[in-house]
Structure 1
């Protein structure tokens, strides 16, 4: 199966990020990773990448509850950036609040809301959706 080129993980939990990277390697999910600990770090690093159109991630796995800039604030800034290709965003959160799922309707760039933990089967489904 063909791999995704670059996956971007935006999450402040180092244990979750470590585990997700391991799962992605086992699932043969992607060639490489971009890891950011909060939305501000992600925006600051992704903006020049998106504007240049080089080495852009194919998918972003975004946590909602983070310090400095949370997932919602990240999305508000992200949608303002001109991009050379569509990037699929999945919210990956431990939140089970229906308000969070409802709020996603305001963001066309978000594909799905995934409740942690992420599994190898789920990564396979995401991969099939992205590589059509």
Structure 2
């Protein structure tokens, strides 16, 4: 199923390159936006929060980032009315395989999957 807009949030350029390349090859997104910090991503989402056509349907989110981590981002994201209306889903994409991180991620109903980096095409098959 193709998504109109996918947002990648990760502070690592190499991970962003791999994830972007994998999503492009799998052709699951018409548009991919990359933000290097959770703060930058929230600022961006704030500018499009009323636009269902532009707001991402899918967000790939890292956990460990400077200034604001992935969980703090989720705490803010779930306040967006468009997210409350279930227009957007989050896939955690992290280098962490810590069970505490996995359990914590699934405390958010918006989180649909937890994956360990790097993203591979097979990981996208059941989206």
Q: Which segments of 5 or more consecutive residues in structure 2 lack a partner in the other structure? A: none
8 Å CA contact 1:60, 1:88 repeated in 2: yes
Does the 8 Å contact 2:8/2:59 carry over to 1?
A: yes
For the 8 Å contact 1:39–1:70, the answer to whether it is kept is yes
Tell me the TM-score normalised to structure 1 length.
Answer: 0.87
Aligned-residue CA RMSD (Å): 1.5
Deviations 1:52-102 (A, max 9, x none): 334111100000001111101100011111116520101000101111111
Q: How many Å separate the matches in 2 of 1:110 and 1:25?
A: 22
Match of 1:100 in 2: 101
Query: Does structure 2 conserve the Cα–Cα contact (< 8 Å) formed by 1:53 and 1:85?
Result: no
Residue 48 of structure 1: aligned partner = 47
Aligned residues: 125
Trace 1:112-127 onto structure 2 (pairs within 5 A): 112-126=113-127
Q: Which consecutive unaligned segments of at least 5 residues does structure 1 have? A: 127-132
2:101, 2:5 → 1: CA distance?
A: 26
Give 1:129's aligned residue.
Answer: none
Query: Equivalent residue for 2:77?
Result: 78
